Amino acid sequence: MAIKLMQGNEACVAGALKAGMRFYAGYPITPSTEIAEISAEALPKVGGKFIQMEDEIAGMAATLGGSLAGLKSMTATSGPGFSLKQENIGYGIITETPCVIVNVQRSGPSTGLPTSPAQGDILQARWGTHGDHSIIALYPSSVKEIYYTTIRAFNLAEKYRTPVILLLDEIIGHMREKIEIPENDDVEIIDRKVPTCPPEEYKAFKVKEGDIVPEMAGFGTGYRYHVTGLVHDETGFPSGNELVADKLLNRLIDKIENNKDDIVTYDEYMLQDAEYAIISFGAIARSAKAAVDHLREEGIKVGLFRPITIWPSPDKQLLELGKKMKKIYVIEMNAGQYFLEVDRLAGKHTTVEKYGKINGEIITPEDIVSFVKEDQNA
Amino acid sequence: MDRWELRLSGSGGQGLITGGIILAEAALMDGKNAIQSQSYGPEARGGASKAEVIISNDEITFPKVENCNLLLSLTQLSCDKYIKELNPEGILIIDSSVEMPERDDIKVYRIPILETAEEKMKKPMVANIVALGAIFKITEIVSEESLKKAILARVPKGTEELNRTAFKEGCDLIK
């Protein structure tokens, strides 16, 4: 067992390498830069490749290219770069190209407060690219969880053949914390299914009976196929047929939405006998956990629900919370983004209140305690 | 004490982030929990910069310093900026170039950290290790063995002896 003091961004790269990342393309931006830096140093040592592109758009394109060539690929960015990557994230979705996009969020819009934390990309992660689609976005809360969640991001990307977004907070990305990685860490690693049929029989976008997604051949392995951002049939060539469009676009949504039980993860704290729930994620969930302890000491029966999978949202759990709780408080470092999702579900049965900050200052346990107490006394 | 919240402040380039990392790593060697964070952006390059370290026997949830019980300030600017947030009964360690603050509810150690590094050792870059020596002597926040091990693991190869001496010089500043 190796106990180390590790930075969040460093743990992200360690997790990616463990998952099998062998290609990184991107454009450095604070507060994600260490991810590029460390990848640049580490990848050549394991036979991988790192490339710094001319901007974030090209970085996203190259990440997809690396994956189509058969390598597990990642890119990392922050707010402005995440916006630039959106068109190509859509390309990754429709071409079913697995990859991991890390967004170490910062305050915005635009260049905003470049070194200050924010959780303002919750909805951009969901709806940043145009058109109807589903997406997977994960949100860890500690350095250790960054390591394991990055591995999981790769696993989900490979299993469901889709871009997976890893949302990080500057607060944890730049923080150093204790992490224990077992010497023989037998964590599950999932690799994409590759075709075994002769190349001439390969249909690049046909889903075999019992499979979730089509088998994926790496470019250069003898299997020739067409990749396009246009709606395409099972061969990969474009089609304007409404039946083809209906089948493909719904399949892309369903492969994620119908497998929520596998994809959705969350953490609960002191919810067993709780009358009130705080919902919070990432670094702010740490403040919320401290606030729960404090409020409990004062006799307020409150617990914490922390989604680790942000998208698809844990809708069953949120609905249940709505039925059980007298009130739900959504605490996030934005003006109320995840609040909309909680209110949509839990709001059918209970009152949902929001508390946020958008000035670059972290939400403290004290902020949350005062907010909840003021609300209780109101 | 069960929970220490430290702020190491000064100007960018004084090695305070490295100092914070070393303290946190020593705490882990002692079997404790530790978190280290720092200020980013323009203030980290000149102006007042800070490294924060939290050391605790328990889980550390909120990762930033809320109840600062030790402040190290190597410059006037950083002392002026952070002194307000030092707890009553807290420990202030300032370089002798920094003026005595107008607070009578804290314990102040005013010692020649920079002078020791610059004049006595002729190596300004070891000021952070001199400071760690003083912090250790005052607080025994981590064990001497772990701290020495953590220092030697972090400093550049070939400077081990220099840093060992710097640590001892720092300890000797506290009588």
ipTM associated with this complex: 0.94
pLDDT at A94: 98
Whether B122 contacts chain A with CB within 8 A: no
Main-chain dihedrals φ then ψ at residue A108, nearest 5 degrees? -140, -165
pTM assigned to the model? 0.96
CATH of domain B3-172: 3.40.920.10
Strands A72-77 and A21-26: parallel
Is B36–A287 a contact, with Cβ atoms under 8 angstroms apart?
A: no
Which chain A residues have a beta carbon less than 8 Å from that of B34?
5, 177-178
User: For chain A, which residues make up each domain, given as ranges?
Assistant: 1-263, 266-377
Distance CA B145, CA A196 (A): 58
Say how many CB pairs under 8 Å bridge A and B. Answer: 57
Q: Do domains A1-263 and A266-377 have the same CATH topology?
A: yes
User: For chain B, which residues make up each domain, given as ranges?
Assistant: 3-172
Q: How many CB atoms lie within 10 A of CB A199?
A: 12
Is B62–A171 a contact, with Cβ atoms under 8 angstroms apart?
A: no
Q: Is B44 a residue whose pLDDT tops 60?
A: no
Whether B37 contacts chain A with CB within 8 A: yes
Residue A199 structure tokens:
């190349």
Main-chain dihedrals φ then ψ at residue A241, nearest 5 degrees? -70, 130
Q: Indicate which of B16, B54, B57, B62 best probes the interface with A, i.e. most A CBs within 10 Å of its own CB.
A: B62
Which chain A residues have a beta carbon less than 8 Å from that of B64?
171, 362, 364
Distance CA A135, CA A253 (A): 8
Side chain identity, residue A249 = L
Distance CA A109, CA B55 (A): 35
Whether A177 contacts chain B with CB within 8 A: yes
- For residue B21, give the nearest of A5, A172, A293 by CB distance: A5
- For residue B25, give the nearest of A5, A175, A362 by CB distance: A5
pLDDT band at B175 (very low <50, low <70, confident <90, very high): confident
The tens digit of pLDDT for each residue in B86-138 reads: 999 999 999 999 999 999 999 999 999 999 999 999 999 999 999 999 999 99
Residue A303 structure tokens:
């617990």
Distance CA A101, CA A156 (A): 12
Taking Cα atoms as reference points, which of B106, B154, B107 lies closest to residue B132?
Answer: B154
pLDDT band at B143 (very low <50, low <70, confident <90, very high): very high
Which chain A residues have a beta carbon less than 8 Å from that of B63?
171-172, 175, 177, 283, 286
Q: What is the residue-wise DSSP string for A180-216? A: EE-TT------------S-GGG--TTPPPTT-SS---
Side chain identity, residue A213 = V
Q: Indicate which of A5, A270, A278 best probes the interface with B, i.e. most B CBs within 10 Å of its own CB.
A: A5
Dihedral class, residue A221 (left if φ above 0, else alpha if ψ from -120 to 50, else beta): alpha
The CATH homologous superfamily of the domain defined by A1-263: Thiamin diphosphate (ThDP)-binding fold, Pyr/PP domains (3.40.50.970)
pLDDT at A359: 94
Tens of each residue's pLDDT in chain A, 378 residues:
689 999 999 999 999 999 999 999 999 999 999 999 999 999 999 999 999 999 999 999 999 999 999 999 999 999 999 999 999 999 999 999 999 999 999 999 999 988 899 999 999 999 999 999 999 999 999 999 999 999 999 999 999 999 999 999 999 999 999 999 888 878 999 999 999 999 999 999 999 999 999 999 999 999 999 999 999 999 999 999 999 999 999 999 999 999 999 999 999 999 999 999 999 999 999 999 999 999 999 999 999 999 999 999 999 999 999 999 999 999 999 999 999 999 999 999 999 999 999 999 999 999 999 999 999 998
Is A114–B41 a contact, with Cβ atoms under 8 angstroms apart?
A: yes
Whether A290 contacts chain B with CB within 8 A: yes
SS3 A94: helix
Q: Which CATH number fits domain A266-377: 3.90.660.10, 3.40.50.920, 3.40.50.12160, 2.40.50.140?
A: 3.40.50.920
